[in-house]
Amino acid sequence: MNILVIGTGYVGTTTALVFAEMGWKVTGLDTDQQKLNQLQNGILYFHEPGLKELLIKHNSSGQLQFTSNKKEAIQKSDVIFICVGTPSRPDGSADLSYVKQVAEDVAYHMNGYKLVVNKSTVPVGTQEKVTEWISESNRHAHPYDVASNPEFLREGKALEDSLHPDRIIIGTKSDRAAKLLQQLYSSMTCEIIETTPRTAELIKYASNAFLATKISYMNELSRLSDRLDVDIREVAKGMGLDLRIGSRFLQAGIGYGGSCFPKDVSALQQTAEENGMKLQILEQVVNVNKSQYLYMLDKAKKKLGDFAGKKAAVLGLAFKPDTDDIREAPSLRLIQDLLGQQATVHLYDPIAKLPASFTHDHLTVASMAEDVFKEADAVFICTEWTMFQELDWKSIHPQMKQPNLFDGRNMLDAKTMKSFGYYYEGIGYK
């Protein structure tokens, strides 16, 4: 079985590499020649643990190739995965223009039966739209099926999640398509759920929205914990031991970010509005998330008075560790607010980079974590990189003008930090 993955972004590249690792012949198709050149030369243009090694391995093994030749790639493939972007429009809905272009390309070049699979995160009803778009451009009336097979990748853990998934969702009404996808995933040991395309599409959005809800719930509860002098970490531990709740996504912090949760929550809200209703819980999930970083800034403001003329050291830019993704990262909003209030900001992240357009006279990006602390009035931890736990906090203390430490990820031990002389506050933990 020859597999074609259209779109070599984060999801597409990961999908192609994992299928190659499973033993299938895989082609990655993209129109971005610079991106293809990097992948062909074993250069992973984003950060994701374990993928670079797979890229080098399967470039050499012959299981994987990359191309910009649409006709050749489509015609030699049996199963075609759509892995292009579905960015948010200003109203929060998903932009399907890239998906539509892929559908039209497949229809134009197909030379026999093709199974087209939506791997991109798409609104409910997209499988039907892709079916229509292919039908409209299918000049020779070749047979085809369109299925939904959503991904459930955690950035920083994508390889683990792909090789050892919790479940595989197959959305199709076609027996032929179902059998092909069952064959494709035959080496997997997890449960494979066959359902309708609409159900599969909703499962993806509902899953991400629920995880975002857990995060915002704990973040709002952390504010109450501060007032009650309760450790939110212990609350989370006690809750997480309940099998009905589970321990994942109960960690309080400065909010979620990334390419999935903000976009998918907005798209699900838009879907509800298009169908004459509002998802009121998700409205509050978004409101809490937008304001959570401000909660930490308010803590700092109460201690410092204001930020004008103060130096702030910011540790962490990526929205989570083990990724270079800064999309919707709370750190960006925090930095913008600090600069807007006339603070000087010194930033460090081991992997993530600011976009070239993000510049300010009072913003300095350090090459080493140790470079941000000198004469700082406050430290803000925005990403829970393990290396931040391993810093020599005792020797950092005398370098600071004011040893104020605001831990937006509750990753340091408050008692230890206070013993070093820091004023320490986390989120629902101090």
CB 332 within 8 A of CB 293: no
Q: How far is CA 109 from CA 65, 71, 136, in A?
A: 19, 5, 13
Q: How far is CA 20 from CA 17, 27, 54, 68, 145, in A?
A: 5, 9, 9, 19, 23
Task: Report the 10 Å Cβ neighbour count for 286.
Answer: 18
CB 152 within 8 A of CB 203: no
Task: Report the 10 Å Cβ neighbour count for 165.
Answer: 19
DSSP classification of residue 254: S
- Local structure of 316: helix, strand or coil: coil
Using CA atoms, how far apart are residues 375 and 399, in angstroms rounded to an integer? 6
Full 3-state SS string of 373-384:
CCCCCEEEECCC
Task: Report the 10 Å Cβ neighbour count for 202.
Answer: 20
Degrees, nearest 5: CA angle 38-44-47: 150
The yes-or-no answer on residue 190 being catalytic is: no
CB proximity list for 262: less than 8 A, separation 6 or greater? 88, 256, 289, 327, 328
- Local structure of 232: helix, strand or coil: helix
CB 272 within 8 A of CB 124: no
Out of 83, 190, 260, 382, pick the active-site residue: 260
6: which 2 tokens?
């259209």
Burial pattern 65-103, b for ≥16 Cβ within 10 A else e, equals bbeeebeebbeebbbbbbbbbbebeeebbbebebbbebb
Q: Which residues are catalytic?
A: 260
